[in-house]
Amino acid sequence: MGRILLKGNVKAHITDWFKSFQLKNIGTERQTSAEILLPRLQHKDSQNQKTESVIPRRSPILTHRQPPLSTLKPTVNANLPDITRSFKDLENGLLDVFNNNKIWANSVRLLDKKFFENLANNEQQPKLFWIGSMFVNWRCSDSRVPAEIIAKLGFGEIFVHRNIANQFKDDDINCMSELEFAVHNLKVEHIIVCGHTKCGGIQNAYKDQILRNNLKSWLSDIRKIKDSYPELFPDQITESKMDKSEIDTIHKKLVSINVITQVNKISENVVVKEAWKDEKRKLSVHGWIFNMENGHLEDLYVTRNK
């Protein structure tokens, strides 16, 4: 039968209970804070048939060798989107996304200083093909550039359309149906064309020897850039004499021009123009680049709106 605690002695009884609890664990080996509550086990020695009591630690005890919890660094979940915050609007120049992106990039570097160096220099080898729900991000299929992670946004906050080299084709039913759904059904306020450095589609767009017919057709916008910017398309001999920084500079210019081209095409599309007829409708088309070398998003400042 349990004891009846007098009202004035509740605190004292609780203190006594804690003391008796600790006495039960005297002599046992101190364990780390990672251990959890386990039931009392009876361990039987197979040779001597002796039974010894194994008393697990009910709660972590801080030893003199362990630093106080306040001095421990928190675990950085840099690869997980923040699903606890509310994504309401991006009216202040989309600073929310850029600030989150910087936090993410910095936290990744804390975990692995060479993360972005390896990301930029190692080719992708994905095992899954992901066709990636309120704003739409028109971006490349490259598996190294996940929109939700680099923008540090949660599930349900980005409606993503992915294809090689972030192209927009008004004769492609997939492009058009996703644009219609995003603009007319989801009522998105921002359409973002996000290219990225080290883009294989851009790098190989003008290499006829490795492209088949479908890719040649799909990358036609990039191939047309050669007419206006022939200096961005060096031949194989010229390119072999260039250093890495020169090649990277040319590549980024191509990426930028391609993003601007797609921003203009989307802005001139009938779906967007219809939305802009509504005076109350908020809808902007932006051009960004994701830099694999440092993990930062870059605004090209080519935003189009009504």
Pick out the residues of the known binding site. 140, 142, 196, 199
Helix 244-267 and helix 220-228: axis angle, to 10°?
Answer: 110
Q: What dihedral angle (degrees, nearest 10) is formed by the CA atoms of 233, 238, 239, 243?
A: -130
140 is catalytic: yes
290 φ/ψ angles, rounded to the nearest 5 degrees = -100, 120
The candidate with the shortest Cα–Cα distance to 158, out of 149, 167, 166, is 149
* Alpha-carbon span 83 to 168, nearest angstrom: 30
Q: Has 161 been annotated as catalytic?
A: no
Is the C-alpha dihedral spanning 82, 87, 93, 94 positive or negative? Answer: positive
CA 205 distance to own-chain centroid: 27
**Catalytic residue from among 142, 175, 194, 286:** 142
Specify whether 43 is catalytic. no
Place of tokens 């009884």: 13
Tell me how far apart the alpha carbons of residues 105 and 150 are, in angstroms, rounded to a whole number: 8
Q: How far apart are CA 207 and CA 212, in angstroms?
A: 10
Which burial class, exposed, middle or buried, applies to 107 when counting CB atoms under 10 A from its CB (0-12, 13-18, 19+)? middle
* Cα separations in angstroms, 28 against 43, 61, 212: 15, 11, 70
Give catalytic status of residue 85 as yes or no.
no
Query: Which residues carry a binding-site annotation for Zn(2+)?
Result: 140, 142, 196, 199
What are the counts of helices (DSSP H) followed by strands (DSSP E) for the chain?
Answer: 11, 8
Q: Which of 57, 58, 109, 144 is catalytic?
A: 144
Catalytic status, residue 208: no
Catalytic residue annotation: 140, 142, 144, 196, 199
